Homo-oligomer: A and B are copies of this chain.
């Protein structure tokens, strides 16, 4: 097995557990938050600075790296670890989600997906075998099965974000039957998982790269059950919950996660893909999830939105123009703690100026802060699991309370 998973502590009050995953490129503590380095880089951040935020594992996007610079070149330059100079654990997704959400046109058949490159318009085919082959060349420690990503709820009844995504995915079908599409996706995902597992086993790389399966099923809990049973019938070192946080509300996310997580084997890491805001993470940890990824810290950082324990600050707002305070006085990131012999924080006023002037340093400082914010939350979550100190956690992080203000995440498409 490429990875091992050790559970070091469990909550008595809920299903949360703290643990450690050991990979060929080192270990990471769980629950773990993985920042996203779509094109072989976390946007604007030196790998050394990423490591300093407490990030122990990062995510790369197969779809984007396939288009540019291509997996052959990455392999030639030492795989993704060597290429991007990140010696620690890496996870790559399968490319499936991006094909659906970013592909200009795509044809889905039982064999795979054909789409148009967003880089040069060329026609590209992605199949379970091709996704495995690419991920082998990228060489991440954890690789993901190629799945069929259906709309999570019926596009005719869902909210706008949903409709936009879903319309894209179903536009080739004049008479769309949501139920039927979910069933087809569910069944296809299992067939594709078996092809991925077979190809991966035959590659002889199972001792260096761990393949995770992905449970789909939208917001339909019965379909989630069916998917979980069939995915878990394939013996794999880890399992993921996909198709979540693509537009649903908090209650729907919690419902799916609380239903699905217990269906996955307790001795394997459970990865909730593309989630999310702080309270989503806490709810999912309580349901027994161990791994998370999301573009929120870096994407919002680039857009001048800074996370704090009480909610986001929109640093472009005029109210910050003369504010000498740091983003968060309790934070120890480079933006909030400063540097040098007598460290002083960077003020909100200065950060606002950087964004107003279009200076790169604004996105850099706020992204660094945001990633550290999420890693500090994970540190606190891991610390509180053994003691069941959930109310202490919520008092230190008001933003994690279920009634906290929250807008829809826009994760998942890579950045």
Chain B residues with Cβ below 8 Å from A39 are 353-354, 357, 359
Q: Is A404 an interface residue (CB 8 A)?
A: no
* B-contacting residues, A337-355, CB 8 Å: 338-342, 344-347, 349-350, 353-354
Q: Is A229 an interface residue (CB 8 A)?
A: no
Chain B residues with Cβ below 8 Å from A68 are 353, 356-357
Chain B residues with Cβ below 8 Å from A42 are 361
Partner of A360, one of B77, B84, B360: B360
Q: Is A167 an interface residue (CB 8 A)?
A: no
Q: Which residues of A contact B (CB under 8 A)?
A: 39-48, 51, 64, 68-69, 73, 76-77, 82-85, 87, 321-322, 324, 334, 338-342, 344-347, 349-350, 353-354, 356-357, 359-361, 363-365
Name the CB-closest residue of B to A343: B85
Q: A69-B353, A357-B68, A359-B39 are in contact. Are A77 and B340 (CB under 8 A)?
A: no
Name the CB-closest residue of B to A83: B350
Chain B residues with Cβ below 8 Å from A356 are 68-69
Shortest CB-to-CB span from A223 to chain B, Å, is 37
Chain B residues with Cβ below 8 Å from A43 are 359-361
Sample of 12 more A-B contacts, CB < 8 Å, known A40-B353, A44-B361, A76-B322: A39-B353, A39-B357, A43-B360, A45-B361, A46-B361, A69-B321, A73-B322, A85-B338, A85-B344, A85-B345, A85-B346, A360-B360
Chain B residues with Cβ below 8 Å from A324 are 77
Chain B residues with Cβ below 8 Å from A321 are 69, 73
Q: How far is the CA of A342 from the CA of B47 in the complex (A)?
A: 13
Partner of A48, one of B40, B41, B47, B339: B339
Q: Assess whether A360 is in contact with B44, with CB atoms less than 8 Å apart.
A: yes
Partner of A365, one of B46, B346, B359, B360: B46
Q: How far is the CA of A3 from the CA of B134 in the complex (A)?
A: 61
Chain B residues with Cβ below 8 Å from A41 are 354, 357, 359-361
Chain B residues with Cβ below 8 Å from A83 are 347, 349-350, 353
Shortest CB-to-CB span from A357 to chain B, Å, is 4
Return 29 A-B CB contacts under 8 Å, by A number: A39-B359, A40-B350, A40-B353, A41-B357, A41-B359, A43-B359, A44-B360, A47-B339, A48-B339, A48-B340, A68-B353, A68-B357, A69-B321, A73-B353, A76-B322, A77-B324, A77-B347, A77-B350, A82-B344, A83-B353, A85-B338, A85-B339, A85-B345, A87-B340, A87-B342, A360-B360, A360-B363, A360-B364, A364-B364
Chain B residues with Cβ below 8 Å from A345 are 85
Shortest CB-to-CB span from A35 to chain B, Å, is 13
Q: How far is the CA of A247 from the CA of B338 in the complex (A)?
A: 40
Name the CB-closest residue of B to A358: B39
Chain B residues with Cβ below 8 Å from A45 are 361
Q: Assess whether A85 is in contact with B361, with CB atoms less than 8 Å apart.
A: no
- List the 5 shortest-distance A-B pairs measured between CB atoms, nearest first: A48-B339, A44-B360, A41-B361, A39-B357, A69-B353
